[in-house]
A and B are shown apart, each in its own frame.
Chain A
Amino acid sequence: MRPTPRLLAAIVLAVAGCGGPFPQTTLAPRSDLGVAADNLFTHIFWWAVVVFAIVEGLLLFVIIRYRHREGGKGPSRLHGHTVLEIGWTLAPALILVFIAVPTMRTIFATAAPAPEGALRVEVIGHQWWWEFRYPALGVVTANELHLPRGKPVQLDMTSADVIHSFWAPGLGGKRDLTPGHTTRIVFTPDSLGEVAGQCAEFCGASHANMRLRVFVESDSAFGAWAARQLSAAVVPPRGSLAERGQELFAHGACIACHTITGVPQARGTVGPNLTHVGGRTMLAGAMLPNTEEWLRRWITNAPSLKPGSLMPAMPLPDDQVAALIAYLQSLK
């Protein structure tokens, strides 16, 4: 967060009628890209307020001052005025110059590719979840993006199916993920913590359920996270419920879509990589908390929670579901 509270943000929060915390607000930017957009918006907003006050004030004055009164004098004969016309053409044009110049400046300042040594992450949109790949690190994960603070990041984005749009408002504006194209955004997160986001381009039945989280961490926490992601999946202790779960996973329908590194049968790529799913905070496109109860409901009947979900309902016996949950939760 920046030190000075923004007046604009304060106004919006006051109108919103409650204190927040507004995890998805655009008004508390936490990266250079977000700050650039916010500064520009604030600048334009105040120009708009000035114009609003003048024009609406003028309108209000006119309709009060010149309302019909009995016995008032006849209507004015002023039907046109060249100097006025020129004036109210030039004045808005001049204001627009004050808006256009910083706009162009910001467009070009934020368009450049990331410098050498930036962290690159490939973002692939799927109906309805996010795949995050860190090519330099070899990490593959889903829905929860981990980034180190203070290091430039470039997201190289595309889609596996239809158009999506990556939007984590705290980190800056959105950018579409278009099949057949690679788009990018570049930013440097400037403060620790969690940023919520979600898909912003309508992408089908569960567009509303395509959410994401970004965790901005210290270098050491990020390094530890990456190291853990690189390790093979946890091998459950012999005879445990989790081991039975692994057995069910490796010989069931799950492997058609999901990968778990270290389980040779599980190489599916249609759904998210589950190697470290137990370490994620959310499930199913970051729409559900990663708890035993939600896992149970998700495994047994995903489409009832996420309309259109490609993951089918799986009416398994309770003991098998319990084993699968134990296994998945062990995959920290």
Chain B
Amino acid sequence: MKSWLTTTDHKRIGQLYFWTALGFFLIGGLEALVIRAQLARPEGIGVSAEVYNQLFTMHGTTMVFLALMPLSAAFFNYIIPLQIGARDVAFPRLNAFSYWVFLLGGLFLNASFVAGPLFGAGSLSVAPDAGWFGYANLTSRQFSPGPNVDFWVLGLQILGIASLAAGFNFIVTILNMRAPGMKLMRLPVFSWMTLVTQFLVITAFPVITVALVLLMFDRFFGTHFFVPSGGGDPILWQHLFWLFGHPEVYILILPAMGIVSEVLPTFSRKPLFGYTVVVYSGVLIGFMGWGVWSHHMFSVGLGPIADSVFSATTMLIAVPTGVKIFNWIGTMWGGQIRFTTAMLFAVGFIAMFIIGGLSGVTHASPPADLQQTDTYYVVAHIHYVLFGGTMLGLFSGMYYWWPKMTGRLLSETLGKWHFWLTFVGMNLAFLPMHFSGLLGMPRRIYTYGPELGVTRLNEISTAGAFLIGISVLVFLVNLWWTRKRGEPAGNDPWQGATLEWAIPSPPPVYNFTVIPRVESRLPLWVTEHHGAMAPLPLTPPAPIHVPGGSWWPLITAFGLPLIAVAAISHQLWLAFVALAVVIVGIYRWAYEPFEV
């Protein structure tokens, strides 16, 4: 227990990220199922409007910040040092700090579901309820007087710290900790996409942090940044939020693209087609992701010039995305494709992401988008991108790397059930939403009338959502059942090409007995120009120093939600206590004897 609380081992932290994010994924999924149950029939009476608004707000917030991002982070943590031939990340204690801040921030946000009695209200009454996008000025004290939005503002600021710390950590790790010979253009594509993602994190999160601080000042100290009656402007929030929010979409999708770019070559027995093009298009997407934010705001009425420009940039970003898809297909072309579960999810990712991409092009066109935005058509789009895309990609990564992380293979039989239930379920759930949207069903409504004529479509969506729920149960059974009974993985169950497959599963605490010298992009494969890397010695030739544990990351991290608790309960003394915890934590951390 103590060794887990003080761990600085990237592999353990990766596992902590995985299980925590999986827990939040289940919570977010349950929220989705309640939402779908409510919408299965017109005039649903399962939950009240107030509860529904909390559920859809927390579903979005949870899935984006507490499930998808940290599930990616689980792979960054576990896999990146292995792929680049390192013993750990650059800043192991900062890594532990990121995890604890993420965990505590997530708990703080979700505590809002049960914190009602502390504020003289019932349970399910003070959770965030202004949408994951928290549009001003609905979030002002005047229109959201309760602590709901406070939980959201403070929780997201805490989570932002976790993301920023991890972002810097992985940039330094990937740039500085690569094994000798691993030039940037020999970096595995998952590591490349992680690098791009982390640059987006460290540039996008400051933007939302600024927005959240301004909103916090409006709510706690009576400023008027977003309050029109005080000279502020709610549109400013939308610009800041989407200036963060669109790069965030790429923060969510690029890691999954990286995973798929590892899985497809392995199971096609062919190197990635057009490696350089795939890498550069990923980098290009990262840059272009900064120039498209106002396509979330066509209904604001920014004028024909702005609408045209953002429409054009949005269409342009489809080009590098399409290029990636063609290169993935090119990778499989002429290959010997083995349909393991990981491969099925990777191919499913491509098939579904194409649909999400194409519906994205339909709302890159403002006049068409004005009929689609804020309807279920867009709900369909984001779920094809973030579930059909990111989530299928992450599942692919789980089946692919699980053996490396645990030493045991997941069951392929259960895995295939998992895949097909997910695939059918998601199309049942999300495909009809295109039609309910076009037929006039807005999003974020807790009820709709039977006269809209979308009842049947909603029934199908609900059935699909529950099928996804069942598929996740199958996945959980798979994780549980193979814990002891799964087939032993050996070093390299898939005949992979990258360094993580050169070492035992699970890897020893020091990862590599000797740091390998990398001569090619596919060190474990025989290619035209290179033989396979020589096997590493089974035992280290000399003792390897491994960094010890530390309490200070956990203690420092604990101070941050404490500051939030102080703010939300208006206890100034507690704020000082919390600040003292943070300062003492950082101080002791800085002077702790600790060698990497």
Contact A63 B358 (CB under 8 A): no
In the complex, chain B residues whose CB is within 8 Å of the CB of A67: 336-337, 339
CA distance A175 to B520 in the complex (A): 55
The answer to whether the Cβ of A326 comes within 8 Å of any Cβ in the partner chain is no
Contact B299 A175 (CB under 8 A): yes
Contact A68/B338 with A12-B438, A196-B440, A201-B374 known, Cβ cut-off 8 Å: yes
Contact A107/B373 with A165-B299, A173-B299 known, Cβ cut-off 8 Å: no
Contact B354 A52 (CB under 8 A): yes
Contact A202/B454 with A44-B361, A111-B303, A176-B300 known, Cβ cut-off 8 Å: no
Of B131, B318, B332, B448, chain A has the most CB atoms within 10 Å of the CB of B332
Contact A44 B332 (CB under 8 A): no
The answer to whether the Cβ of A118 comes within 8 Å of any Cβ in the partner chain is no
CA distance A107 to B275 in the complex (A): 39
Contact A81/B135 with A76-B333, A106-B367 known, Cβ cut-off 8 Å: no
Contact A80/B53 with A41-B368, A66-B333 known, Cβ cut-off 8 Å: no
The answer to whether the Cβ of B540 comes within 8 Å of any Cβ in the partner chain is no
CA distance A127 to B369 in the complex (A): 25
CA distance A37 to B363 in the complex (A): 11
The answer to whether the Cβ of B370 comes within 8 Å of any Cβ in the partner chain is yes
Contact A68 B337 (CB under 8 A): yes
- Chain A 92-114 residues near chain B, CB threshold 8 A: 92-93, 96, 99-100, 103-104, 106-108, 110-111
The answer to whether the Cβ of A262 comes within 8 Å of any Cβ in the partner chain is no
Q: Of the candidates B336, B373, B447, which one forms a contact with A174 in the assembled complex, judged by CB atoms under 8 Å apart?
A: B373
In the complex, chain B residues whose CB is within 8 Å of the CB of A79: 270-275
In the complex, identify which listed stretch (A17-25, A136-144, A311-319) lies at the interface while the others stay far away: A17-25
The answer to whether the Cβ of A178 comes within 8 Å of any Cβ in the partner chain is yes
Contact B371 A75 (CB under 8 A): no
Q: Which residue of B lies closest to A199 (CB)?
A: B442
In the complex, identify which listed stretch (B96-104, B227-235, B239-247) lies at the interface while the others stay far away: B227-235
Contact A100 B456 (CB under 8 A): no
- Chain B 45-99 residues near chain A, CB threshold 8 A: 48-50, 53
In the complex, identify which listed stretch (A53-61, A234-242, A245-253, A266-274) lies at the interface while the others stay far away: A53-61
In the complex, chain A residues whose CB is within 8 Å of the CB of B276: 80
CA distance A99 to B312 in the complex (A): 10
The answer to whether the Cβ of B432 comes within 8 Å of any Cβ in the partner chain is yes
Question: How does the 8 Å CB contact mask read for B282-323 relative to A, with 1 for contact and 0 for none?
Answer: 000000000000000001110110011001100110110011
The answer to whether the Cβ of B269 comes within 8 Å of any Cβ in the partner chain is yes
Contact A208 B366 (CB under 8 A): no
Contact B452 A75 (CB under 8 A): no
Contact B362 A41 (CB under 8 A): yes
In the complex, chain B residues whose CB is within 8 Å of the CB of A183: 300-301
The answer to whether the Cβ of B341 comes within 8 Å of any Cβ in the partner chain is no
CA distance A201 to B130 in the complex (A): 11
Contact B361 A75 (CB under 8 A): no
CA distance A68 to B340 in the complex (A): 11
Contact A92 B318 (CB under 8 A): yes
The answer to whether the Cβ of B329 comes within 8 Å of any Cβ in the partner chain is yes
Q: How large is the interface on A (under 10, 10 to 19, 20 to 34, 35 or more residues)?
A: 35 or more
The answer to whether the Cβ of A198 comes within 8 Å of any Cβ in the partner chain is yes
CA distance A202 to B441 in the complex (A): 13
Q: Of the candidates A18, A69, A178, which one forms a contact with B456 in the assembled complex, judged by CB atoms under 8 Å apart?
A: A18
Contact A23 B270 (CB under 8 A): no
Q: Of the candidates B332, B362, B373, which one forms a contact with A66 in the assembled complex, judged by CB atoms under 8 Å apart?
A: B332
The answer to whether the Cβ of A220 comes within 8 Å of any Cβ in the partner chain is no
Of A67, A72, A108, chain B has the most CB atoms within 10 Å of the CB of A67
Q: Which residue of B lies closest to A105 (CB)?
A: B367
Contact B454 A66 (CB under 8 A): no
Q: Of the candidates A16, A36, A68, which one forms a contact with B336 in the assembled complex, judged by CB atoms under 8 Å apart?
A: A68
Contact B374 A165 (CB under 8 A): yes
Instruction: Give min CB distance, B470 to chain A, whole Å.
Output: 23
What is the predominant secondary structure among interface residues of chain B facing chain A?
helix
Contact A307 B48 (CB under 8 A): yes
Instruction: Give min CB distance, B170 to chain A, whole Å.
Output: 28
In the complex, chain A residues whose CB is within 8 Å of the CB of B308: 103-104, 107-108
Question: How does the 8 Å CB contact mask read for A151-178 relative to B, with 1 for contact and 0 for none?
Answer: 0000000000111010101001111101
Q: Which residue of A lies closest to B316 (CB)?
A: A96
Contact B438 A25 (CB under 8 A): yes
In the complex, chain A residues whose CB is within 8 Å of the CB of B354: 52, 55-56, 59
The answer to whether the Cβ of A2 comes within 8 Å of any Cβ in the partner chain is no
The answer to whether the Cβ of A290 comes within 8 Å of any Cβ in the partner chain is no
Q: Which residue of A lies closest to B521 (CB)?
A: A79
Contact A78 B233 (CB under 8 A): no
Contact B235 A36 (CB under 8 A): no
CA distance A106 to B48 in the complex (A): 41
Contact A23/B440 with A59-B329, A59-B347, A96-B316 known, Cβ cut-off 8 Å: yes
Contact A26/B347 with A88-B323, A93-B319, A180-B233 known, Cβ cut-off 8 Å: no
Contact B326 A88 (CB under 8 A): yes
CA distance A17 to B371 in the complex (A): 22
Contact B330 A84 (CB under 8 A): yes
Contact A208/B448 with A108-B304, A198-B442, A308-B49 known, Cβ cut-off 8 Å: yes
- Chain A 7-49 residues near chain B, CB threshold 8 A: 12, 15-18, 20-27, 36-38, 40-41, 44-45, 47-48
Q: Which residue of A lies closest to B307 (CB)?
A: A107
Question: How does the 8 Å CB contact mask read for A273-290 relative to B, with 1 for contact and 0 for none?
Answer: 000000000000000000
Instruction: Give min CB distance, B490 to chain A, whole Å.
Output: 20
Contact A81/B440 with A96-B318, A179-B228, A201-B135 known, Cβ cut-off 8 Å: no
Contact A176 B448 (CB under 8 A): no
CA distance A16 to B438 in the complex (A): 10
Contact B440 A99 (CB under 8 A): no
Instruction: Give min CB distance, A143 to chain B, whole Å.
Output: 15
Contact A40/B368 with A75-B270, A180-B233, A196-B440 known, Cβ cut-off 8 Å: yes
In the complex, chain A residues whose CB is within 8 Å of the CB of B300: 176, 178, 183
In the complex, chain B residues whose CB is within 8 Å of the CB of A24: 439-441, 452
CA distance A58 to B332 in the complex (A): 11
6 nearest A-B pairs in the assembled complex, by CB-CB distance: A173-B370, A24-B440, A76-B334, A180-B228, A208-B445, A307-B49
Q: Please, could you name 30 A-B residue pairs with CB atoms under 8 Å apart, sorted by A?
A: A12-B439, A17-B456, A21-B453, A23-B453, A24-B441, A25-B438, A26-B372, A40-B365, A44-B361, A47-B361, A56-B351, A59-B347, A59-B354, A68-B338, A75-B268, A75-B334, A80-B273, A88-B326, A100-B315, A104-B308, A110-B367, A163-B234, A167-B374, A176-B301, A179-B234, A181-B235, A196-B452, A201-B374, A204-B143, A209-B447
Residues of B within 8 A of A (CB): 48-50, 53, 130-131, 135, 137-138, 143, 228-229, 233-235, 268-277, 299-301, 303-304, 307-308, 311-312, 315-316, 318-319, 322-323, 325-327, 329-330, 332-339, 347, 350-351, 354-355, 358-359, 361-362, 364-375, 432, 435-436, 438-448, 451-457, 528
Knowing that A56-B351, A74-B336 are A-B contacts, what are 10 other residue pairs whose CB atoms are under 8 Å apart, sorted by A's residue number? A12-B438, A26-B439, A48-B361, A59-B347, A63-B332, A79-B275, A108-B308, A167-B374, A173-B367, A201-B135
